[in-house]
Homo-oligomer: A and B are copies of this chain.
Amino acid sequence: MEDPRQPEDPRKLDDTQRLIDLAELQSLKARYWRCLDTKSWDELRSVFATDAHLDIDGFVNDGRDTIVDFLAEVLADARTVHMGHAPELDVTGPDTASGIWPLEDYVELPADSGQGLRGYGHYHDEYVREDGAWRIKSSRLVRLRVDPLSGGLPSTSSP
């Protein structure tokens, strides 16, 4: 009889775990953008680490609650579409990872005003596993370009 509890090839277990991590990290960022676009502020909270750091278009916020409160306020009257393209993700340790995500965001603020922007750039992210799930630890958006909508930029630029 074989012992079903025998250890597997450690390299192998690592590979499988890393692939699972990559799949979860991909979903994590998709959830972040979906929560922004559907204004699901409670669900958005679960995306961030407790001490998360967010740096977008000159707006810098620290701490999960501060970040979500900021986003909920700035985007309350906006209609947004966030489009995340093919990423580069890297698991850097058992509970740490990093990623670069290309983004197009289409923000009308306020909704139906014709004011807003179409922006393009790369998110540079760090992730951490906290309370058993991957979370965004820090996220910084580096712009390639920002085009105003036909009505011009919003009076307050926004994430």
Contacts and interface: CB of A to CB of B under 8 A. Distances in A.
Residue among A12, A23, A101, A122 with most chain B CB within 10 A: A23
Contacts of A13: 12
A84 B120 CA distance: 13
Nearest to A91: B23
Contacts of A7: 2, 4
B81 A144 contact: yes
Nearest to A142: B38
A102 B19 contact: no
Contacts of A122: 34, 37-38
Given A2-B6, A4-B7, A26 B81 contact: no
